[in-house]
A and B are shown apart, each in its own frame.
Chain A
Amino acid sequence: MNNTKPGDSRLDHRIITGWVSEGASVLELGCGAGELLQMLSRQKRASVSGIEIDESYIFSCVARGLSVAHQDIDDGLSEYADRAFDYVIINQCLQELRKPHVALSEAVRVGRKVIVGFPNFAHYSARVQMALQGRAPVTPALPYQWYDTPNLHFLSIRDFVLYCAKNRLSIERKAFLNNKGVVRCWPNLLAGSALFQISRDGPALLK
């Protein structure tokens, strides 16, 4: 379910691993082959589990010794109690869900903190392709043609920040990435993808 990772293929994983506290409980939605979960288990002694829709990824996860459920995130997370996890991670699959708003609402219910990673549709190269060439953009973070993309929704960093404000979600941490590394200025223009840590009632850090 994961798109090609932006920038260094593991940079987003390293950043997320840095954010997750030692021994935390983690649920990853769309956990793919389980690289991130394995990293969290090994480096943070986190107790990890995942949800994944792609059967072949389930095999990889089981081979890694991970506990995963073969199910569709869009069917909801009703099997999890409120605040069942310290962290819920949705990395690079939010834009592929039919109902991202439902998934995010469920994620902040089930997780004390939610880490979201997504490709930035407002990256300058996407803007150039749209504005000057009149083409649907194809970028390193959005590498698909219009006819074969798994992405159903296109959002920018600014869209996500506004979404959080509207839904009273506190942004606790953020990181912006491109294929060279971390982006420090003009993220909505220069970052290919973004990572946010949000919570429903944590302290506000950014507006």
Chain B
Amino acid sequence: MLKAGKDTGIVETRFLTFAGPPEELVLESGERLGPVTLAYETYGKLDKDRANAILVFHALSGDAHAAGYHEGDERPGWWDNMIGPGKAFDTDKYFVICSNVIGGCRGSTGPASENPRTGRPYGLDFPLISVRDMVDAQAKLIDHLGIEKLLCATGGSMGGMQALQWAVSYPERVRSAIPVATAARHSPQQIAFNEVGRQAIMADPNWNGGDYYGGTSPTRGLSVARMVGHITYMSDESMADKFGRRFKDRVKGAKFEPDFEVEGYLQYRGDNFVRRFDANSYLYITKALDYFDLDNGKGLENVLRGIRTKFLVIAFKSDWLYPAYQSREIVKACKLAGVDSTYCELNSNYGHDAFLLETAEQEYLVKHFIANVRENNGNGRT
């Protein structure tokens, strides 16, 4: 639908450390965390009035590297098809920031980080964190970058939850929010899939109560967790298209070796994942997602009432992990609350992964929506 943009080029992840004692970050649980490091990347330039900043949030297994290439890498960042010159989040016009989350393992403070009290990795001494805590930490980063108000907060899946939380926690600081393929709270089915992943990790003897740093990691458990996750990110149709019932192209090995292509693929994704992700982070972050409940018993429309952030909510028809009805609930609450919202349910066969893969239509919507917010202070006038 739109011309492919130029490349973002070589980028580097940067780090901000703050909240050192005694000014620690007070978490939703009441516990304190500090010092806190956040990994982040930026693309494009902040304009003079500092009004063109877009904050992008990644999903469960993502990181701050959303666009461009790291030196020597063959693959670009996870949302490179959406971020860059001329793309949906046009870095010729906007200053795009992607922040990693606390609790993670991709450069930000998490369970694998050193606990200043013991000098050893936190492990399970790391406090439980919430999506609100992730967002509070990002607010410090935005302060540091000298940005008072974001033009847009956006992300898919867990990133969408952060976009929603930003609008609720800092409504005066977000002009628009684009939550994609997400939910205001996890359904029992979503919690159930996360729990299978967590149980797989904890059933791995190498997990050792979370105390495995310096020894052997629970790679088997984490890999199975990732395999389950991957199944939920795809659709029946996209799996049939990608694998069919084809066998792997190799001589049959022992009994129950993966011989279907789909089995090999899942194992490959699982094996890859354990090289870049920490099992304890997986536990902490999935738990944060399961506890996420923007409604909090108050009625989502009451939580959203008075917010002047303009919403573009996007869902995908084939997404069964975050089904479209969850996005419609967000839109319904916006309407009941009188919050300006636009909703689109896109056709795609890719399931939950569609927000990463099938981006042409998403790009069109995002591009026009943001341009309009920028021109019109988000009041819907044309």
List chain A positions with a Cβ less than 8 A from chain B. 38, 41-42, 45, 47-49, 55, 58-59, 61-71, 78-81
Contact = CB atoms under 8 A, between A and B. Distances in A.
Given A48-B380, A79-B336, A69 B368 contact: no
B75 interface: no
8 contacts: A47-B381, A49-B380, A55-B344, A55-B361, A65-B372, A65-B381, A66-B382, A81-B336
Given A42-B382, A49-B380, A55-B347, A69 B341 contact: yes
B365 A41 contact: no
A48 B376 CA distance: 14
A84 to B, nearest CB: 8
Contacts of A45: 381
A67 B340 contact: yes
Given A62-B365, A62-B369, A81-B336, A69 B380 contact: no
A191 to B, nearest CB: 31
A55 B372 CA distance: 19
Contacts of A69: 331, 335, 341-343
Nearest to A55: B347
Contacts of B346: 55
B204 interface: no
A50 B344 CA distance: 12
Interface string B359-382: 001001100110010011001111
Contact of A66 (B336, B347, B380): B380
Given A55-B347, A81-B336, A62 B341 contact: no
B328 A63 contact: no
Nearest to A59: B364
Given A41-B381, A59-B361, A64-B382, A79 B342 contact: no
A41 B372 CA distance: 14
A201 B16 CA distance: 61
B332 interface: yes
Contact of B343 (A59, A63, A70): A70
Contacts of B361: 55, 59
Contacts, number: 73
Given A55-B347, A65-B372, A41 B331 contact: no
B345 interface: yes
Nearest to A58: B344
A67 B342 contact: yes
Q: Which of B328, B333, B345, B381 has the most CB of A within 10 A?
A: B381
Contacts of B333: 79
A149 to B, nearest CB: 24
B381 A80 contact: no
A32 to B, nearest CB: 15
A53 to B, nearest CB: 10
Nearest to A56: B361
A64 B381 CA distance: 9
Given A47-B379, A65-B381, 19 more contacts: A48-B380, A55-B345, A58-B365, A59-B365, A61-B342, A62-B312, A62-B368, A65-B376, A65-B382, A66-B342, A66-B380, A67-B340, A67-B341, A69-B343, A71-B343, A79-B332, A79-B335, A79-B336, A80-B336
Contact of B368 (A55, A63, A67, A81): A63
A38 B382 contact: yes
Contacts of A67: 310, 340-342, 380
Interface in B286-314: 310, 312
A83 to B, nearest CB: 13
Contacts of B375: 65
A45 to B, nearest CB: 8
B332 to A, nearest CB: 4
A65 B372 CA distance: 6
Contacts of B332: 78-79
